[in-house]
Amino acid sequence: MNILKAGFIKDFIKIADDGYKMGWHECNGGNLSYRLREEDIELLRFSLEASGPFINIGTRVPDLAGDYLAITGAGSFFRNISLSAYDNIGIIQINDRGDAYRLWWGLASGRGPTSELASHLMIHSVKKRANKDGQRVLYHCHPVNLIALSFVLPLSNKVFTRELWEMMPECPLVFPEGLGLVEWMLPGSLDLALATSQLMEKYNGVIWAHHGLICSGEDFDASFGLAHTIEKAAQILVKVLSMGQGKVQRPRARDLKALSDTYKLKLGQEFLIDND
């Protein structure tokens, strides 16, 4: 089977294109990964071929032992993924000890997987532990408005969640558990991976202050949709703040509770307190 015809690769390429068109992927900004299902692997069994040695990950992810992942390459431009997927995406497999990976397909450009590999693998590990069949797609992007807000809003889960929830009812519906936030950390570092994966125990979206956003979802639509919703709310908030009056009116905790009761949401209780 031609791997480029596999459904998950088509979805992978589509998200890369969609994200690029949104303006969230300057140069090589952003990265994307998908943990393959049994049926994906079965379908590709005769098309995948191990190439090269095992390469150390720099951390251990024993929960992912034996798993295959499709992942963008370090330095890959999202705008080039649909033009040349074989160069810019790879399929890797994690070894039995969970401390190394090997390439099975793609990354023909000679690049290794994304520099944020540790974050991707540690988050996949958290999500797989929570639900083996659950979330499989991790999407990291550099959305303009959200990054801008990280320069002016206090850097806390509470402030970002509540501010964005208030922007449109879709927000509490799409991210009822709220959002995590890490202060600026070195891109590609183990510290960033550790802090983010800890927050992903609770949240599906984590803001990287002055850098971007990483979202987890059960499929490509869920991951991209979460990023899209967060960034749209951020865009509204930037406009509101730019009008210079602050918020003259806004939904209160009781309004969010009513939304929660009607739509049976499990809203994070810590975000349901009005501070004024």
Instruction: Quickly count: other Cβ atoms within 10 Å of residue 182's Cβ.
Output: 20
Looking at the Cβ atoms of 32 and 149, the one nearer to ligand 13P is 32
**Interface with ligand 13P includes 135 (CB under 6 A)?**
no
Looking at the Cβ atoms of 13 and 256, the one nearer to ligand 13P is 13
**Interface with ligand 13P includes 31 (CB under 6 A)?**
yes
E-strand stretches of 44-144: 51-56, 68-72, 89-94, 100-106, 137-141
Stretch that binds ligand 13P, among 22-30, 46-54, 175-183, 244-252 (CB under 6 A): 22-30
Q: Which of 93, 114, 161, 196 binds ligand 13P (CB under 6 A)?
A: 114
End-to-end CA distance of the chain: 60
Stretch that binds Zn ion, among 54-62, 79-87, 127-135, 212-220 (CB under 5 A): 212-220
Residue in the block written with tokens 């002055």: 210
**Catalytically annotated residue among 116, 163, 166, 231:** 116
Site string for ligand 13P, 75-94 (x = CB under 6 A): xx------------------
**Interface with ligand 13P includes 29 (CB under 6 A)?**
yes
Give yes or no for a contact between 159 and 254, defined as CB atoms under 8 angstroms apart: no
Active site residue 231: no
What is the Cα–Cα distance from 29 to 211, expressed in whole angstroms? 10
Which residue in 65, 87, 5, 82 sits closest to 40, CA to CA?
Answer: 5
Looking at the Cβ atoms of 167 and 223, the one nearer to ligand 13P is 223
E-strand stretches of 60-167: 68-72, 89-94, 100-106, 137-141
So which residues are the catalytic ones? Answer: 116
Residues that bind ligand 13P in the complex, under the rule CB under 6 A:
28-31, 72, 74-76, 114-116, 187
